[in-house]
Structure 1
Amino acid sequence: MTFLDHLEELRWHMIRSFASIFILAVVAFLSKDIVFHQIILGPSRTDFWTYQTLCKIGTWLNSDVLCIDSLPFEIQSRQMTGQFTMHITSSLVVGLILAFPYAFWEFWRFISPALYTKERNASRGAVFFVSILFIAGVLFGYYIVSPLSINFLTNYTLDPSIKNQIDITSYISTLSMLVLSCAIMFQMPVVVYFLSQAGLVTPERMIYFRRHAFIVILVLSAILTPPDVMSQLLIALPLTILYQISIYVSRMVLKRKLKSEEIQKYQ
């Protein structure tokens, strides 16, 4: 294929990817009651699944400390076009999240023919694992990080006379940032896998820089989350676990490469 043929092929992959995002965004836009009342505004109410589960755990432990009885804030729209604009923006975000597995599959369909057979075999299942980790990150950000962050931030007061009247733009932006940040950060094992395949990362190097990585994880958590310690720790903890898993992934890749080299040596 010529360079222009490659561009034409890429163009159609991008068209199909953006079309899937647009279609699902339209579906989300038309499903306003479900998307907003049930999903987006869910963490702003005390009947949310996370708060109810924490209360059940507290009851099991004979303690009411974990029960969240109130979230002292109101969500407002202070701009004339605020609600309509956020309706469109949030629908696009929901469409992106729902269409991500298909969009990544389209991207992978364009990339994979350029790989050698050995590279294609080594990257088999990439779409599946990327999609699973992305969904896991979204669920973790939505059900764990977001509600606990919202609870902390709305209950944090400088003075009882100050009322929390939060703009809808601020609320949705914070929620989207937390969810998408977790989704992206959960891709760490996949990134390490491909870097290990390229020889840029080794398990020994990752173990040597583990302390440095922990500091970087804390800094990233502080940047990506609201300014509260609880949210930072909630992102830092799974990232630390994922880093440890990535070490095992890199070690597995190294063993596989050494085994392949031994087989080729004796052939």
Structure 2
Amino acid sequence: MSDDQKQLNAPPTQEETFFTHLVELRDRIIKASAAVLIVFVSMVYWAPDIFHLLAKPMLDVLPKGAHMIVTDVTGSFFVPIKVTLMAAFVVALPIVTYQIWAFIAPGLYQHEKKLILPLVVSTYTLFLIGMSFAYFLVFPTVFSFMVSYNAPLGADMSTDIDKYLSFAMTTFLAFGFTFEVPVVVVVLVRMGLVPLAKLKEIRPYVIVGAFVISAVVTPPDIMSQLLLAIPLCVLYEFGLLIARFYVPKQEDAVS
């Protein structure tokens, strides 16, 4: 065999493997970004309507004569654009999630690769449920509480649209990721990273952590904190229940 043939048949070096992964990561990011951009361009014409839909829970509870305001010169243009970009990301999230899992897949075993499609579907579904929970239940509850709290003070409630967007995005992300808890539990168990028995054992710490997280990421009222902490605890229990069907065979043998 010639030296050239030996060089061609030689296994890739660590440096070559690293750069191969970098190239693939770049391609995955480009594909995910392109998906978001395409959806954004197709939706941007309706940006004011999309913002109005986002602001509806607040507008519905504002006192008569009250309204949202703009305190920044460019706010009336950029805030609806930001909202539309967020909506485009949510619509394109299945493609983004798939690109993430597809990048991870080569390092997984064959039985683990079979989980990719169910994980993509469940991740997207649960994220949408979390955002819907925030929009239809948390927003009206929190806004009604704040309006009723403002009334005795005699203060006018005029919310800046940029600050409202910041609050809405933070809340959406908090509840969206909170509703991913069952997926996280199943992945930890299925990958053998944490035994199911250990996850059951740390249940009290998870409950305490749920209330700590809710106190950090939600407004400082007990209602919104409970609306995040309680679903997080329930979803953790649901994750433990589902994870029973995904326990690795080695753990089955031990138990």
Q: Which residue of 1 aligns with 2:189?
A: 196
Structural mapping, 1:218-257, within 5 Å: 218-254=211-247, 256-257=249-250
Q: Which has the higher helix share?
A: 2
The question of 1:165 aligning with 2:158 is answered yes
Contact 1:201-1:250 at 8 Å conserved across structures: no
Aligned-partner Cα distance in 1 for 2:116–2:102: 12
The question of 1:155 aligning with 2:148 is answered yes
Structure 1 gap ranges (5+): 47-69, 263-267
Per-residue CA deviation, residues 43-102 of structure 1 (Å, 9 max, x unaligned), is: 1233xxxxxxxxxxxxxxxxxxxxxxx423421001111212212222221111111111
Q: 2:103 is aligned with what amino acid?
A: F
Per-residue CA deviation, residues 125-148 of structure 1 (Å, 9 max, x unaligned), is: 211111111111121121111222
Q: Select which of 62, 68, 89 maps to 1:71.
A: 62
Q: Select which of 19, 33, 53 maps to 2:34.
A: 19
**How many aligned residue pairs are there?**
237
Per the normalisation by structure 2, the TM-score is: 0.84
Q: Which moved more, 1:3-12 or 1:227-236?
A: 3-12
Q: Which residue of 2 aligns with 1:210?
A: 203
Contact 1:28-1:95 at 8 Å conserved across structures: yes
Cα offset for 1:15? 0.6
Per-residue CA deviation, residues 10-60 of structure 1 (Å, 9 max, x unaligned), is: 2111111011112222333211243122x21221233xxxxxxxxxxxxxx
Aligned-partner Cα distance in 1 for 2:203–2:99: 35
Aligned-partner Cα distance in 2 for 1:189–1:11: 29
Aligned-partner Cα distance in 2 for 1:103–1:229: 35
Q: Which residue of 1 aligns with 2:56?
A: 42
Aligned-partner Cα distance in 2 for 1:219–1:16: 37
Aligned-partner Cα distance in 2 for 1:152–1:257: 51
Q: Which residue of 2 aligns with 1:102?
A: 95
Aligned-partner Cα distance in 2 for 1:122–1:75: 45
Structure 2 gap ranges (5+): 1-11
> Over aligned residue pairs, what C-alpha RMSD do you find?
2.2
Aligned-partner Cα distance in 2 for 1:192–1:222: 22
Contact 2:190-2:248 at 8 Å conserved across structures: no
Per-residue CA deviation, residues 217-246 of structure 1 (Å, 9 max, x unaligned), is: 011111111111111111112111101112
Q: Select which of 40, 43, 47 maps to 1:32.
A: 47
Per the normalisation by structure 1, the TM-score is: 0.80
Aligned-partner Cα distance in 1 for 2:137–2:69: 24
Once superposed, which parts of structure 1, at least 4 consecutive aligned residues long, lie more than 6 Å away? none
Aligned-partner Cα distance in 2 for 1:19–1:86: 22
Cα offset for 1:158? 7.4
The question of 1:120 aligning with 2:134 is answered no
Contact 2:211-2:225 at 8 Å conserved across structures: yes
Instruction: From the superposition, tell whether residues 84 and 123 of structure 1 become closer, same or farther in structure 2 (CA, over 3 Å).
Output: closer
Q: 2:42 is aligned with what amino acid?
A: V
Report the 3-state secondary structure (helix = DSSP H, G, I; strand = E; otherwise coil) of the residue aligned with 2:68.
strand
The question of 1:179 aligning with 2:196 is answered no
